[in-house]
Amino acid sequence: MKPAKEQGTSRAKGPAIDPSNDIEFRAVSKRYGDVTAVAGVDLAVPKGAFVALLGPSGCGKTTCLRMIGGFEQPTEGTVLIENRPMNGVPPYQRPVNMVFQHYALFPHLDVMANVSYGLRQMRPPLARTEVQRRSEEALELVRLGGYARRRIHELSGGQQQRVALARAIVNRPAVLLLDEPLAALDRKLRTAMQFELQTLQRELGITFLLVTHDQEEALSMSDFVCVMNAGRVAQTGTPREVYDTPNSLFVADFVGKTNHLSGTLEPGGVLRLANGVGLAVGGNGTGRVAVVLRPEAIRLHPEAAGRGFAGTVTHRIFLGSTVEYAVAADGLGDFLVTADRGKSDGTAEPGARVRLAFDPTALHLYPS
């Protein structure tokens, strides 16, 4: 995602139109009485991209989607779709479709009738053969060819999800809005559908904007992630950028597992940890800082190795290809460490004395 536009002097004339954007938010806010659901959001979704809006429950994700869909109007600011301001444009005139969190299928209709519903509402009406052809094509795309005559209650959760998707893509919107589309599926099906959504997006070539509170889902599927917190955009970037270089403690915590250390930054770029050890981290600030370290950035060595912080393994959790350890580090508190099962550091037992080693460049420092 491109960075939000600078609020420069050109703003009085309005920012320049970027034809490569499918959706743009310009200083959009939404209030419900005293509740500010969305607070001054700037957002640019490039044409053809798969973008995830990621954030905790209640941070304003669904409200953003509903403003794009036209089900809510912004209290302030402008939503643009394909560079057209959407003020006053009703939902059915917007080139977007929404897949709702609870699929909202018609239970008494069969799969074909659900999928073709939007096409059958079109005025002037489409030929019946055309409705049939396009609906079958949409069903093939979600791998439900052959299910046209099934009733909704005769389908599994994953199949119902696909019907909802087929219904939303059947009239080829410019943008597909997906609100927590995988939340109701079990873990294995969710992973399979993550791959399928990616494939579908590439096959269709249309812009996907997906809302989720699940960081793994957001990081694994999207080209760009927009992390939201309390109605605001906390950070936008590629999945790798927000994971590797989170711009705040909130983003670091929300997009992955973290270890927290507290320390003091001393002149000369030395970070003094609670155990008295000083680490050269560079920079020129001073004062208390919050320090974050990802579990996979730590290596475990036998205590005799002599380098790194000493500690005792308290728990070992086998996760298949990886192993997670809880380690109580002397004078520093508890650490979470992820190791590869096959490597030597994947074999420590609870009770073992170990050393925790990491590169100081892996530390993220935030003022506290």
Ligand X SMILES: Nc1ncnc2c1ncn2[C@@H]1O[C@H](COP(=O)(O)OP(=O)(O)O)[C@@H](O)[C@H]1O
Kindly list the residues in this chain that would bind ligand X in the complex (CB under 6 A): 32, 35, 37, 55, 57-63
The DSSP letter of residue 127 is P
* Phi, psi for residue 68 in degrees, rounded to 5: -70, -40
* b/e map 316-355, b = 16+ CB within 10 Å: beeeeebbbbbbebeebeebbbbbeeeeebbebeeebebb
Among 21, 29, 62, 258, binds Mg ion (CB under 5 A): 62
Task: Tell me which of Mg ion, ligand X, none is bound by residue 32, counting a contact when its beta carbon lies within the kind-specific cut-off of 5 to 8 angstroms.
Answer: ligand X
By a kind-dependent CB cut-off of 5 to 8 A, residue 63 interacts, out of Mg ion, ligand X, none, with ligand X
Integer Cα distance of 270 and 71 in angstroms:
53
**Burial bucket for residue 81 (CB in 10 Å: 0-12, 13-18, 19+):** buried
Nearer to ligand X, 231 or 263 (CB): 231
The candidate with the shortest Cα–Cα distance to 351, out of 326, 307, 314, is: 314
CB of 55 to ligand X, least distance (A): 6
Binding region for Mg ion (CB under 5 A) out of 54-62, 134-142, 227-235, 354-362? 54-62
CB 143 within 8 A of CB 196: yes
Token pair in block for residue 155: 């389908």
In this complex, which beta carbon is closest to ligand X, that of residue 102 or of residue 128? 102
CB of 162 to Mg ion, least distance (A): 21
Binding mask 71-100 for Mg ion (x = CB under 5 A): ------------------------------
Q: How far is the CB of 103 from ligand X (least distance, A)?
A: 17
**Cβ closest to ligand X, residue 112 vs residue 219:** 219
**Shortest Å distance, C-beta 136 to Mg ion:** 32
Of all residues in the shown chain, the one whose CB is closest to Mg ion is: 62
Please check whether residue 52 is in contact with residue 78, taking contact to mean a CB–CB distance below 8 angstroms. Answer: no
Q: Which is nearer to ligand X, 225 or 291 (CB)?
A: 225
Tokens of 57: 């429950």
Using the minimum distance from each CB to Mg ion, give the nearer residue, 62 or 160.
Answer: 62
Region from 56-64, 137-145, 215-223, 338-346 binding Mg ion, contact rule CB under 5 A: 56-64
- Which residues lie across from 210 on neighbouring strands? 52, 178
- Angle, helices 157-169/128-141, rounded to nearest 10 degrees: 130
**Candidate ranges 25-33, 58-66, 131-139, 354-362; the one touching Mg ion (CB under 5 A):** 58-66
Query: What residues make contact with Mg ion under the rule CB under 5 A?
Result: 62
